[in-house]
Amino acid sequence: MRKLFSLITGIFICSFLSAQGQQDFVPLKELFKKDFLVGVAVNGRTIADASGRMVIENFNTITCENEMKPQSLLYFPMQRPAGAPQGQPGQAGQPQRPQGALPGQPQGGQPGVPPQGGQPGQGMGGFQRAPLKLDTINGLVYNWASADRIADFARSNNLKVRGHTLVWHSQTPAAFFTDDKGNQLTKEQLYARLKDYMTVVMNRYRDVVFCWDVVNEALADKEGEIYRTASRWYQICGKDYIAEAFRIARSVNPNVKLIYNDYDLVNPAKLERAMTMLTELKKAGVPIDGVGMQAHWSNDITAEMLQNAITRFSSLGLEVQITELDVTTYTSYHGEGAKNQVQQTQPYSQEVEEKLAESYKRFFEVLHRNAGKVTSVTFWGLHDGASWLNGFPVRGRSDYPLLFDREMKPKKAYYSVKSVYIK
């Protein structure tokens, strides 16, 4: 089987390169090697089929889409994430499947949606799910199956892993915040549980994870507020949980990079909230190394907005990582812009293709100028067919947000990025 897989993937790569001409294509890790690490978000399906070879050829880092989030690692069958609404299918408020199900992402789905269809024990298209791999430590039950599969893939192929994520309000089981009788934990009890959890998880992947998103999306979106106050973390601990998480992480591993990760940080208002929080953390001596900018952007994001964010974060002595890069070809992927979008799929016209290529070139010109301040760039998806933006925020709709098309061939956007690095 291993020989057959190698043969298939070899044929795939050959056809992939010949599509545009081998002389015209440069693997992304080679393209950016003088500037920063370049990575991609993956799931169990990505590394199991022929696209796994594409990952190996193009990237030097990978990020688990869902497999290293608390909801995937902790085995609480049929538990909802804390504070999540009853929700829609595929959203964080949906009851969690037993973790024998691959927490992957089908084509056309959203992040965190388990594969649909297939036979029992299988994911979409008959893909074999990872069997349960349970381990009870200090009262918490872990299922290592899916995360171990991706970590082993990284080890076997000399890839570094961005750990994503340790503390997040959204995909943390509600049971994490309660004792065995269902009573809410005190602040001190929750910190003790968090230390147990972080110690176990960080040490298990210590050899392969080069940085961790320690805290994810703690900032508010609402004007006049800094922190996401509806979070169970905030409700029990106040804002101090952020600093405590970083201190625990540093005590567990003095050498790993510790990152705060959030979205919309190019937005001036959100940027100011981030600067307020980060300045406070730095003044308090909290061990934070960098900021992860979730780059779910649109064509409306300007070079000035991106440069301003990089400059502001760098002024605090923090490195910048672009953690979840894709560029929607629609108005926006969330907020008011999304509400006003047409429901039908727009064709991938020449105009759409040109705008996307222009946007990617604009962003990478800024990133290239800031090499050293920007230390890594991670694409959120391997190709258009695997993007979470298919079906989000409008169900059934297609998007075209990445450098490679649905046939895994480089798009004009790829060549526009290449032009920044190779004249």
Beta bridge partners of 209: 161
Active-site annotation holder among 57, 67, 217, 319: 217
Tell how far CA 14 is from the center of its chain. 29
Residue 121's identity, in one-letter code, is G
Burial class (CB in 10 A: 0-12, 13-18, 19+), 188: exposed
> Can 225 be counted among the known catalytic residues?
no
Q: CA 378 to CA 44: how far, in whole Å?
A: 17
Question: Does the active-site annotation cover 407?
Answer: no
C-alpha distances out from residue 245 to 74, 167, 251, 279, 347, Å: 18, 8, 10, 17, 45
For residue 331, cis peptide bond before it (omega within 30 degrees of 0): no
How far is the first Cα of the chain from the last one, in angstroms, to the nearest whole number? Answer: 42
DSSP strand pairing (319-327 vs 296-297): parallel
Q: How far apart are CA 413 and CA 345, in angstroms?
A: 20
Which phi-psi region, left, alpha or beta, contains residue 147 (left: φ > 0; alpha: ψ -120 to 50)? alpha
Closest among 371, 383, 422, 335 to 49, alpha carbons compared:
383
| C-alpha to C-alpha distance for 313 and 282, rounded to whole angstroms | 11
Residue pair 58/40 in contact by the 8 Å Cβ criterion:
yes
Torsion of CA 311, 317, 323, 327, to 10 degrees: 0
In terms of phi and psi (left: phi > 0; alpha: psi -120 to 50; beta: otherwise), the region of 217 is left
Task: Identify whether the C-beta of residue 59 lies closer than 8 Å to the C-beta of residue 162.
Answer: no
Residues known to be catalytic: 217, 324
